[in-house]
């Protein structure tokens, strides 16, 4: 066994919160978010501050929805896409919860959930909060061009989601619970030579295939054992490649039970090319739409796997290929979680 860990005490995912931007609010999942912020700047004076406020608001909303106070949260795990993960750190400065900053590019939500679930499972902490955020405008200026620059996007390019999602994991049985975390599979950095920063889906798909294959091997399960397999932001290209890679590996995914958050978050009419991306993409889709479906009992066992492209503008300009990563966590719905742990 390499990388898959069974969480024997079944820590519970108690609450999720998703704060989305305007374009995301206009998307097909628009009604499910806790809050849709119409103003891209969120009342702040820079995109970075706006993103920080998204992060803060998601955390704050999640804690309040769970009926807790900040003092009752033992640790906050989170990150974002910006250099030195400033959105997360500066939000943590306000939240005053002990903080572990994470960088997993767009896989951050899953990375946070995996670590939080393990911390809670091991009994080191009682309640952990995980969050991730991204902002279209802050990501564009860091990774690409000024916003108003009239460049043309390629068909494989993806649109960074503006938004932030937070999830609360706890062993406290007095809290409401949506799902229990049963397994985590930690990703391996995988690189099959894609250097095109406008085709992140293709760069990340091999990592997703590797994590999935190891997960199935370690747990002796098959794709049929899951009601839903969710990838973070592979987009149309990565989605198609992952299906093909899994077919080649002899563990084909069931198309109807596989979704990608990047394809769910926007509709094709929103001119986002290959779909959504960014830490916020999987974070807001998981913490609204997916958790709601689990809560309603539409799906019982889901595998949530967010993928990240671990490049920087520097390595990209130096001609380095793009390393990808994918972390997975299994969530099982529980209408009556108490006693399960």
Partner 1 sequence: MFDKNAKPSPRRQQQLDRYKQLVERMSPNSDMGKGLLRAFWVGGTICTLGQALQEIGKAWLGMNNTAASTFCSTVLVFLTALLTGLGVWDKIGQYAGAGAFVPISGFANAMVSPAMEFRREGLVLGLGAKLFTIAGPVLVWGVSASVIVGIIYAIWPW
C-alpha 71/C-alpha 218 separation (Å) is: 37
Q: Under the criterion CB under 8 A, does residue 221 sit at the interface with partner 1?
A: no
Which of the stretches 28-36, 123-131, 234-242, 249-257 binds partner 1 when contact is defined by CB under 8 A?
234-242
> Which residue in 163, 165, 206, 262 binds partner 1 (CB under 8 A)?
206
Say which residue the tokens 């909303």 belong to.
61
The nearer residue to partner 1, 97 or 326, going by C-beta atoms, is 326
Query: What's the min distance (Å) between Cβ of 3 and partner 1?
Result: 20
Q: What does each C-alpha distance from 205 to 129, 296, 330 come to in angstroms? A: 28, 30, 19
Q: At what angle do helices 200-219 and 235-248 cross, to 10 degrees?
A: 40
Query: 267: closest CA among 95, 78, 24?
Result: 24
Write a three-state SS string for 242-268.
Answer: HHHHHHHCCCCCCHHHEEEHHHHCCCH
Query: 132: closest CA among 1, 247, 278?
Result: 278
Grouping H, G, I as helix, E, B as strand and the rest as coil, residue 301 is: strand
Q: Under the criterion CB under 8 A, does residue 244 sit at the interface with partner 1?
A: yes
The nearer residue to partner 1, 137 or 177, going by C-beta atoms, is 137
Site for partner 1 in 26-55 (CB under 8 A): 45-46
Q: Under the criterion CB under 8 A, does residue 150 sit at the interface with partner 1?
A: yes
> Which residue in 1, 122, 147, 189 binds partner 1 (CB under 8 A)?
147
Which of the stretches 93-101, 113-121, 199-207, 303-311 binds partner 1 when contact is defined by CB under 8 A?
199-207
Q: Under the criterion CB under 8 A, does residue 227 sit at the interface with partner 1?
A: no
In the complex, the residues that contact partner 1 under the rule CB under 8 A are 45-46, 141, 145-156, 192-194, 199, 202, 206, 237, 240-241, 244-245
């Amino acid at each position: 066994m390499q990388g898959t860990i069974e969480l024997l005490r079944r820590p519970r995912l108690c609450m999720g919160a998703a704060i989305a931007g305007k374009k995301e609010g206009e998307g097909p999942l628009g009604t499910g978010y806790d809050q849709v912020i119409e103003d891209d700047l969120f009342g702040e004076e820079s995109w970075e501050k706006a993103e920080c406020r998204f992060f803060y608001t998601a955390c704050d909303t999640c804690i309040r929805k769970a009926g807790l106070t900040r003092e009752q949260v033992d640790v906050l795990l989170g990150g974002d896409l910006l250099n030195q993960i400033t959105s997360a750190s500066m939000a943590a400065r306000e939240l005053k919860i002990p903080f572990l900053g994470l960088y997993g590019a767009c896989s951050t939500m899953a990375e946070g959930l995996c670590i939080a679930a393990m911390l809670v499972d091991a009994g080191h902490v009682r309640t952990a909060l995980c969050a991730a955020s991204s902002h279209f405008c802050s990501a564009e200026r860091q990774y690409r061009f000024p916003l108003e620059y009239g460049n043309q996007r390629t068909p494989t390019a993806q649109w960074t989601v503006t938004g932030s999602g937070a999830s609360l994991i706890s062993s406290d049985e007095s809290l409401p619970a949506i799902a229990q975390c049963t397994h985590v599979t930690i990703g391996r950095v995988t690189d099959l030579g894609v250097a095109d920063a406008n085709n992140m889906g293709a760069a990340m798909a091999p990592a997703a295939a590797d994590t999935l294959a190891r997960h199935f091997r370690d747990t002796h399960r098959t794709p049929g054992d899951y009601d839903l397999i969710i990838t973070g932001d592979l987009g149309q290209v990565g989605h198609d490649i992952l299906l093909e890679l899994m077919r080649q590996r002899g563990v084909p995914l069931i198309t109807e039970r596989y979704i990608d958050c990047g394809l769910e978050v926007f509709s094709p009419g929103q001119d986002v090319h290959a779909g959504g991306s960014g830490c916020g993409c999987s974070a807001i889709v998981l913490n609204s739409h997916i958790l709601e479906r689990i809560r309603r009992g539409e799906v019982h066992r889901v595998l949530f796997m967010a993928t990240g492209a671990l490049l920087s503008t520097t390595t990209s300009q130096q001609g380095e290929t793009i390393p990808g990563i994918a972390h997975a966590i299994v969530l099982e719905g529980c209408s009556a979680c108490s006693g399960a742990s």
